[in-house]
Chains A and B, each alone.
Chain A
Amino acid sequence: GAGVSQSPSNKVTEKGKDVELRCDPISGHTALYWYRQSLGQGLEFLIYFQGNSAPDKSGLPSDRFSAERTGGSVSTLTIQRTQQEDSAVYLCASSLGRTDTQYFGPGTRLTVL
């Protein structure tokens, strides 16, 4: 079946602009995660959605970052007023439930000039 998809695959933007990154999880997966991967920094947890529960936003680095998940499926990560330090690969993953194996998308490479 289809895996996790993300779009766009690459995004180049100017400092100060807003960007939206999209994630389509595997159908039926109730848990959805966003991570940020920077060179030498490993995987940085950003936000986690589980079913209809309130999302865990504890990893969002600033109030410029927000995410939503509509209808328990597609999720959008929004970064407002982008800064150069936001440049990274943004990964989305989904799993059947909170403790199950996560399946990762290919990521969106964001470059802020």
Chain B
Amino acid sequence: AQSVSQHNHHVILSEAASLELGCNYSYGGTVNLFWYVQYPGQHLQLLLKYFSGDPLVKGIKGFEAEFIKSKFSFNLRKPSVQWSDTAEYFCAVISSPSGNTPLVFGKGTRLSVIA
């Protein structure tokens, strides 16, 4: 069965620090990859996604992620975090294009940005 691992449960950074959140998945075939974010009191929303093409994808608010197929990884990065980036971040993976399995989420990483 597919699984997604987010190794960091809670990350605390100062403003302007660089961010990298790890995400590894277990599935040998073609996948679509997502990062979702949940700001305090808000819905889960898409941050960025990878379906095919350039493995370095850019999302909203200056976030980017790099798909490294050989490492089964899709780490999220941001060069300089802001206080408003405080949120919970979820990595998710789904087999593509064939199959019937649903989207699988990691357990999430809580990011706290302090002034």
Instruction: Please give the residue numbers on chain A whose beta carbons come within 8 Å of chain B beta carbons, in ascending order.
Output: 3, 33, 35, 41-43, 45, 48, 50, 53, 56, 91, 93, 98-99, 101-102, 104-107
Contact = CB atoms under 8 A, between A and B. Distances in A.
Most interface-central of A35, A43, A56, A105 (chain B CB within 10 A): A43
Nearest to A50: B100
A102 B92 CA distance: 11
Interface of B: 32, 34, 36, 43-46, 49, 51, 90, 94-97, 99-108
A102 B74 CA distance: 18
A50 B94 CA distance: 14
B88 to A, nearest CB: 9
Given A98-B94, A101-B46, A104-B44, A42 B105 contact: yes
Nearest to B108: A42
A99 B106 contact: no
Given A99-B96, A104-B44, 12 more contacts: A42-B105, A43-B44, A50-B100, A53-B100, A91-B44, A93-B44, A99-B32, A101-B34, A101-B46, A101-B49, A102-B103, A105-B43
Contact of B108 (A43, A93, A98, A107): A43
Given A42-B90, A43-B90, A56 B32 contact: no
